[in-house]
Structure 1
Amino acid sequence: MRTPPLRFAGAVLAGAVLTGCTGTGPPESTAPSATPTPAYALTPRPVRPGERPVNAPPVTDGDTRFQVIGLQTGLRGFFGTHAEWQAKGQYVVVRIVVENPGRANSRFDAKRQKLITADGTAHGIDRFAQAIKRQPDTLPLGAEVRIELDLWFDIPEEAKAAAVQLFGDPPLGVGGSTDGVKVPLT
């Protein structure tokens, strides 16, 4: 049988524990407020001559984040640093931002990227145009690295660019390839 002082002590202890769990805290006016995440203040750049801006949201495929930012269509030819080259049909140039948001290295492979025309046909990059315009074939992307580059496609003259299908690097430890993600160009 318990003595009254022990029962009283137990009741006081239980009351203290329960009061501490009620969730009451400082008044709202003194509670800390959320601090917004700071952002880089990047200076806007003018769109390049002949290019149209594309306002597509970023997309992710595997361990790679992409954003399409510019488009040129109907180019008959171009000048490189050491050559002039004509399209078999028309050149379409898609300007993209490629980013590795992860903590491990990943790899960008331009040869995997596809331009989808209105008839549903997928076109690979024109490797010769990529080389003349000094755009990379493959590129290691370090952790949290972000780059911009052009993808050059030579498509039939009458074809209309509808979308670009972008392929990233599979997550670390995952074999095979990714399915890609389509970004509309209209």
Structure 2
Amino acid sequence: MRRFLPLLILPLAACADTTPTPSAPAVTTTEYVRTPADCAKSELAALVVEPGHGYIFGTHAEWLPKGQFVRIRIAITNADNTFHTTRTTDYELDDAAGTAHPVSNDAMAIKRQPTEVTLGAGNRLELDLWYDIPLDTTPKLLRDSVCATTTMLPG
């Protein structure tokens, strides 16, 4: 029986398709870019400001600030009839001295806050923005770098 095994496999190999299959075309996606035109359809409100956090901790890490952590709870409302995407890196915190501070990527990751959010038509989202600012200053306003608008902070 073993002598006939190659004879059984040989016809199957001869029937195999040896023509190369064309590879699928490369899929290119265009990254969404928020424009100032999107700003007319969205509203930003600062709800809560908590300065003076000496450390933060989450489920997988803890972190000390270079100065102090500031948590700002914001609400973003999409008043348009289509989706809009926003990035947390679009929002800078201006302190009392007029210095702009970007969001703290470390604090945002530890607190598991999104870096990019897509809001559907008519949706509202609340999230926390975390900043690391010097100890000798206080938060004053949020600046949207895409829309070139500012939002006064409560308190």
Q: TM-score, normalised by structure 1?
A: 0.60
Aligned to 2:88: 110
Aligned to 1:125: 103
Aligned to 2:136: 158
**Large movers: runs of 4+ above 6 Å:** none
Aligned to 1:95: 73
Amino acid at match of 1:122: A
Unpaired runs of 5+ residues, structure 2, are 1-37
Unpaired runs of 5+ residues, structure 1, are 1-59, 168-176
Aligned to 2:27: none
1:66 aligns with 2:66: no
The CA deviation at 1:154 is 0.2
What are the within-5 Å matches in structure 2 for residues 50-89 of structure 1? 61-89=39-67
The CA deviation at 1:183 is 1.7
User: Do the aligned residues in 2 keep the contact of 1:164 with 1:185 (CA within 8 Å)?
Assistant: no
* Distance in 1 of aligned mates of 2:89 and 2:46: 17
RMSD: 1.6
Identity of aligned residues (%): 34
* Distance in 1 of aligned mates of 2:117 and 2:129: 13
* Distance in 2 of aligned mates of 1:142 and 1:94: 23
* Distance in 2 of aligned mates of 1:95 and 1:184: 10
The CA deviation at 1:73 is 0.5
The CA deviation at 1:79 is 1.0
> Paired residue for 2:117, among 136, 139, 146?
139
